[in-house]
């Protein structure tokens, strides 16, 4: 490669060659994670089976502590959702994100707009709880759904946090888009990677429902 050629030009040429020769070359995606509405990192070759690039910008609140983070990486296209997702477990515990999936080398270099965070209550309610290091949670509290959240979710599994992968369980309100997630999926947020072993999703109720 001559010094005047950019890495992106080289990758595009390599992808074209792979296509023409039918070599099935692996995908390369930008990989990074950091605070704020964007991040930048190196292009890395995806692991076998991961055939999509993703970029996610998310806003989260944990006990009222708000943060905005960006995540870019490889993932399986069947697990990747492009669009808006909102979940609410309580007035001070929520997560909203905007994501884009794509399937060409370096296609996740660009960012996506930060998610619209409409916290206006819509009259629906769901059982709610957050149980770190647990496989289940009772949902004895009620979360008030906001914005486009029309469904109740119950997610459980493991969350990848550095070198450890503790269990978690959570229930609350969500947009219908959260229901597209399947058991066994590796679902990134803007901060963590969730490995889901339980995914329940039903329409939200009005007035408040009770835990099972």
pLDDT digits (tens, 9 = 90+) for 85-99: 999 999 999 999 999
Query: What homologous superfamily does CATH list for 27-203?
Result: CD59 (2.10.60.10)
Residue 172: exposure state from Cβ atoms within 10 A (0-12, 13-18, ≥19): buried
Beta pairing partners, 69: 35, 58
The helices-and-strands tally (H runs, E runs) of the chain is 1, 13
- How does residue 121 score in pLDDT terms, banded at 50, 70 and 90? very high
- How does residue 1 score in pLDDT terms, banded at 50, 70 and 90? very low
Region of residue 14 (phi > 0: left; psi between -120 and 50: alpha; otherwise: beta):
alpha
Give the chain's mean pLDDT. 87
Angle at CA 161, nearest 5°, toward 135 and 119? Answer: 75
Average pLDDT score over residue span 155-179: 93
Instruction: Give this prediction's pTM.
Output: 0.82
- How does residue 22 score in pLDDT terms, banded at 50, 70 and 90? very low
> Residue 5: its pLDDT value, please?
45
All structural domains of the chain with their residue ranges: 27-203
pLDDT digits (tens, 9 = 90+) for 43-54: 999 999 999 999
């Amino acid at each position: 490669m001559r010094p005047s050629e950019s890495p992106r030009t080289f990758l595009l040429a390599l992808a074209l060659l792979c296509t023409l020769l039918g070599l099935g070359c692996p995908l390369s995606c930008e990989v990074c994670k950091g605070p704020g509405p964007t991040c930048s990192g190196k292009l890395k070759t995806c692991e076998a089976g991961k055939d999509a690039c993703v970029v996610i910008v998310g806003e989260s609140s944990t006990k009222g502590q708000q943060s905005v983070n960006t995540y870019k990486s490889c993932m399986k296209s069947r697990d990747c959702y492009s669009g808006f997702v909102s979940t609410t477990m309580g007035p001070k515990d929520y997560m909203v994100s905007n994501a884009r999936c794509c399937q060409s080398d370096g296609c996740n270099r660009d960012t996506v707009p930060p998610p619209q965070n409409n916290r206006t209550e819509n009259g629906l309610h769901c059982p709610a709880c957050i149980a770190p290091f647990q496989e289940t949670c009772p949902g004895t509290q009620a979360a008030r759904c906001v914005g486009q959240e029309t469904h109740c979710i119950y997610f459980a599994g493991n969350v990848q946090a550095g070198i450890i992968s503790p269990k978690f369980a959570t229930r609350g309100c969500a947009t219908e888009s959260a229901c597209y997630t399947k058991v066994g999926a590796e679902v990134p947020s803007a901060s963590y990677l969730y490995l889901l072993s339980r995914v329940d999703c039903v329409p939200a109720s009005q007035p408040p429902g009770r835990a099972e």
